Structure 1
Amino acid sequence: MRAGFSYSDAGDTKQDGVTIDSNKQTKFWIGTGISPSATTQVILNYGRDLKVENGFKENNRINLRLMKVF
Structure 2
Amino acid sequence: MSIKELIKQELDYLSEEDLQEFYQVIKSRSQREVNNKNNNDELGDLLEKCQVSTGITDLAEQHDHYLYGTPKRGN
- Into which bin does the TM-score normalised by the smaller protein fall? under 0.3
Q: Please say which structure displays the higher CA radius of gyration.
A: 2
More helix by share: 2
- Highest relative contact order (Cα 8 Å, sep 6+), 1 or 2? 1
With normalisation by structure 1, the TM-score equals 0.27
With normalisation by structure 2, the TM-score equals 0.26
More strand by share: 1
